[in-house]
Amino acid sequence: MLRAIPFGWLLAFVAVPCLLLLVIAFAALAEGVPPFAWGSLSLEALITLTEDGFYLAAFLRSLRVAFITAALCLALAFPMALALARAPARWQPVLVLAVLLPFWTGFLLRMAAWVGLLRDQGWLNGVLLALGVIEEPLPLLYSSGAMLLGMVHAYLPFAVLPLYATLLRLDRGLEEAAADLGAGRFTVFRTITLPLAAPGAAAAFLLVFIPAAGEYVVPEMLGPPEAQLVGRAVWGAFFQDRDWPLACLLAVLLLAVLVLPIRLFQRLETRP
């Protein structure tokens, strides 16, 4: 009985929704609300998707953006997590909080702040103009750089926390033993710290990569208008074109692309 309630909920609100995506992806468009016909079968969405090179390009670009975001987050998060794990014990809760608290200011507000900093009449251009570094405002906003900056800002804490947890559990005795046996600091890091932290680093990378691949809000607010990503394509097909079957097919394909990273992540998580 106690199992039936959550099981029923999960079936109704997780399993059925995913199946419906698959069903509607092959439904025929129709006039009215909802704009498709239940029980119909059509390959229209699939044909649109394969004939228009736009969607394949969006998939490739999304994967590239997600990969770069995850790599940047990992590169930044690793030294941060190392410093966190090695900080005096009484400072650690405060420092962890300092990493987490930006989360609580609201994701949209943080992205709005970047808009305010980066736009042509924005804070950064104002400072650079006042210092005489530049003579005309730089077009910083609505660029791939601004988009990546926003993505890293949004996802960095996701990468820091699993790495911190891994590094905290790491047996410092191994590093000391290596140092006692004559290994230099770099050798200790390369042969002991890095291999032991690898599973945590992989988890951190995937924890950023998976949501970043379907991200909609950050590219919309900071990225260049022409940078079509899958998240934006799903949103556009649904809200602008009212082509629900196409939006569903794009969502199904996004899931298919992410199955491998997701399985990998779950294996890392359930590791004993």
Partner 1 sequence: MSRLMLALGLGFLWLPILLLVGYAFSASAIPFQWGGFSLRWFAALAADERLLEAAWLSLRIALGAATLATLLGGLVGWVLARQRAFRGRALFGALAGAPLVLPEVVTGLSLLLTFVALQGLLGWPTERGATTVLLAHATLGAAYAAVVVQSRLSQLDRGLEEAAADLGASPAQVFRTITLPQIAPALAAAWLLAFTLSLDDVVVASFVSGPAGTTLPMLLFSRLRLGLTPEINALGAAILALAALALGLAAAMLHRHSSHSGRDRGKAG
Residues 87-106 that bind partner 1 (CB under 8 A): 95, 97-99, 101-106
37 touching partner 1, by CB under 8 A? no
Enter the tokens of residue 154. Answer: 């949004």
Among 3, 133, 173, 181, binds partner 1 (CB under 8 A): 3
6 touching partner 1, by CB under 8 A? yes
Based on CB atoms, which residue is closest to partner 1, 18 or 56?
Answer: 18
Among 37, 199, 216, 268, binds partner 1 (CB under 8 A): 216
Residues 146-165 that bind partner 1 (CB under 8 A): 153, 156-157, 160
Binding mask 52-91 for partner 1 (x = CB under 8 A): ------------------------xx-xx-xxx-x-----
Q: Which amino acid is at 32?
A: G
Closest CA to 236 of 33, 64, 55: 55
Among 46, 122, 191, 196, binds partner 1 (CB under 8 A): 122
251 touching partner 1, by CB under 8 A? yes
Residues 173-202 that bind partner 1 (CB under 8 A): none
Q: How far is the CB of 147 from partner 1 (least distance, A)?
A: 15
Is residue 29 a contact partner of residue 245, using CB atoms and an 8 Å limit? yes
Enter the tokens of residue 160. Answer: 């820091």
DSSP per-residue codes, 102-170: GGGG-HHHHHHHHHHHHSTTSHHHHHHHHHTS-SS----SSSHHHHHHHHHHHHHHHHHHHHHHHHHHS
Q: Which amino acid is at 250?
A: L
Q: How far is the CB of 216 from partner 1 (least distance, A)?
A: 6
